Amino acid sequence: VPYGKRVHVLPLDDTIEGITGNLFDTYLKPYFLEAYRPARQGDLFLVRGGFRPVEFKVVGVDPGEFVIVAPDTVIHCEGEPVKREDEERLDDVGYDDIGGCKKAMAQ
């Protein structure tokens, strides 16, 4: 999986109601910093930061469809928030549903 040149993520509208401030500095920068996280176009991910969690959607990646977000990957977060009702995949099993892997991942 290649390191990404660019990743475009947008928040889900119902998770940012009442939140002020810079989403990038509060949520995305700490989430991706030195973490080498995978990103796939269409993925939804939850970031815990600030006073409450915010859900984001990967709306674009370059190159290809799958990338690793590395320190030199440019993260764009400009644009209108994604409407939750536009998401069909919300019932799919995600990383947050699995849980219990911290001990195995630490080895």
pLDDT per position as a tens digit, 36-90: 999 999 999 999 987 899 999 999 999 999 999 999 999 999 999 999 876 655 5
Show the domains of the chain with their CATH numbers.
Answer: 6-106 (3.10.330.10)
pLDDT per position as a tens digit, 7-34: 999 999 999 998 888 999 999 999 999 9
Q: How far apart are CA 75 and CA 39, in angstroms?
A: 11
Tell me: pLDDT of 101 over 80.
Answer: no
